[in-house]
Amino acid sequence: MKTIDELLSEGVAGKRVFVRADLNVPLDGTTITDDGRIRAVVPTVKALADAGARVIVASHLGRPKGAPDPAFSLAPAAARLGELLGADVAFAEDTVGASAEAVVSGLADGGVAVIENLRFNAGETSKDDAERAAFADKLAGLADVYVGDGFGAVHRKHASVFDLPKRLPHYAGYLIATEVGVLKKLTDDVKRPYVVALGGAKVSDKLAVIDQLLGRADRLLIGGGMAYTFLKAKGYEVGISLLQEDQIPAVQEYIERAEKNGVELVLPVDVLVAPEFPDLKTKAPANPTTVAADAIPADQEGLDIGPETRKLYASKLADAGTVFWNGPMGVFEHPDYAEGTKAVAQALVDAPGFTVVGGGDSAAAVRTLGFDENAFGHISTGGGASLEYLEGKTLPGLAALED
């Protein structure tokens, strides 16, 4: 995989460089609530602009239905990128139409532009190879060189991620190079004990990575909504907690395999419960009750790990040589259910080894809860991509850059 440093050494002044970024940031209306992914691509964009390239930044945002939708416009992200660069950033109101062509042709050396949401075009995400290829051909007409730096999208076989690099000289940006280096530390050069903390809503989203980790990790800590399927698999009452009954047989098999392989599988010993899900808009007090994990009332819902579990998980992370954490421990968006996630984050900060926050809601939680990002070894910009890499899958966007 050739890197951006090789491209810069070859010279980029006057060249049109297409940077596939990941500007898929959360929005409240037009207000960005977490700009982490935009900040992550700034080093690549700035290096290219400073070297005289004409930089065309492209990304998806949300899941529009293959047609323009103002709710998913990249205009707020383009404005924020300009603020972070301290420079004007032009914005094209389409991707491969008249506006994009005019904006790109108007770029001076060192100029930066953002084109509109790639997913406003059905060809970006199409399962039809010919339709994707046709869109990639149009994107290729905008540029001379391709730089892949949207790590959060490399597990998608999309036109701008998979097909476009085949049409242009291609290089990995700084973010992707960093992310791949980190993932290799989690797979090829692991310092032990290797502890993995998994949370989030659905156990089905994590089954494949758990399958792999049962042969690699020393300890697995389970929290979030997925924990209740594990507790149910052990025969516990879980009330009205989030539950995937169809996954219970798989989970039972994993519990047995963990014991056989000598992997410590750690489940909550107590949880915070309430009769209903909290109001995340008003954040009104929820008044939860703490109960033992094997004593959840039939009419209550588990919404966070309890204080004894927080202490237990912190102790299991205290000597870790390597930590990977993906998924919050509870409904961290509400203050009454944020303590579990906060405790795991603090345990990562305190851990002596290399710590990785695996993107997605975990990364958002770290920022929302006020942690210093520099206190962690690495905060990934791609939760889904990280998990699929750890599962051993070939990621289309990385494969395209390696060709």
Comparing CA positions, the residue from 384, 382, 373, 331 lying closest to residue 348 is: 373
The verdict on whether residue 362 carries a ligand-binding annotation is yes
The verdict on whether residue 61 carries a ligand-binding annotation is yes
**CA 95, 101, 102 angle in degrees (round to 5)?**
120
**CA 212, 218, 222 angle in degrees (round to 5)?**
75
Is residue 223 part of the annotated active site? The answer reads no
- What would you measure as the largest C-alpha separation in the chain, in angstroms? 67
Q: Assign residue 277 a region (left: φ > 0; alpha: ψ between -120 and 50; beta: otherwise).
A: beta
Is residue 384 part of the annotated active site? The answer reads yes
The verdict on whether residue 360 carries a ligand-binding annotation is yes
The verdict on whether residue 23 carries a ligand-binding annotation is yes
The verdict on whether residue 359 carries a ligand-binding annotation is yes
109 contact partners, CB below 8 Å, separation of at least 6: 13, 14, 52, 53, 54
CA distance 82 to 259: 52
The verdict on whether residue 216 carries a ligand-binding annotation is no
Radius of gyration over every alpha carbon of the chain, rounded to an integer in angstroms: 22
Which element (helix H / strand E) includes 145? strand 145-148
Helix (H, G, I), strand (E, B) or coil at 378: strand
The verdict on whether residue 80 carries a ligand-binding annotation is no
The verdict on whether residue 97 carries a ligand-binding annotation is no
CA distance 373 to 325: 14
The verdict on whether residue 333 carries a ligand-binding annotation is yes
Dihedral pair phi/psi, residue 146, rounded to 5°: -115, 135
The verdict on whether residue 326 carries a ligand-binding annotation is no
CA distance 197 to 32: 28
The 3 state secondary structure assigned to 190-239 is CCCCEEEEECCCCHHHCHHHHHHHCCCCCEEEECCCCHHHHHHHCCCCCC
The verdict on whether residue 46 carries a ligand-binding annotation is no
Q: Which of 46, 202, 311, 393 is catalytic?
A: 202
The verdict on whether residue 170 carries a ligand-binding annotation is no
Is residue 225 part of the annotated active site? The answer reads no
The verdict on whether residue 62 carries a ligand-binding annotation is yes
CA distance 252 to 273: 24
The verdict on whether residue 302 carries a ligand-binding annotation is yes
| Cβ pair 95, 151 in contact under 8 A | no
Is residue 127 part of the annotated active site? The answer reads no
The verdict on whether residue 156 carries a ligand-binding annotation is yes
User: Distance of alpha carbon 3 from its chain centroid, rounded?
Assistant: 22
The verdict on whether residue 206 carries a ligand-binding annotation is yes
SS3 content of the chain, % helix, strand, coil (to 5): 45, 15, 40
Q: Which of 353, 360, 382, 397 is catalytic?
A: 360
The verdict on whether residue 234 carries a ligand-binding annotation is no
Q: Which of 20, 37, 54, 157 is catalytic?
A: 37
User: Which residues participate in the annotated binding site?
Assistant: 22-24, 37, 60-63, 119, 156, 206, 302, 333, 359-362
User: Which residues participate in the annotated binding site for (2R)-3-phosphoglycerate?
Assistant: 37, 119, 156
User: Which residues participate in the annotated binding site for substrate?
Assistant: 22-24, 37, 60-63, 119, 156
Catalytic residue numbers read 37, 202, 360, 384
User: Which residues participate in the annotated binding site for ATP?
Assistant: 206, 302, 333, 359-362
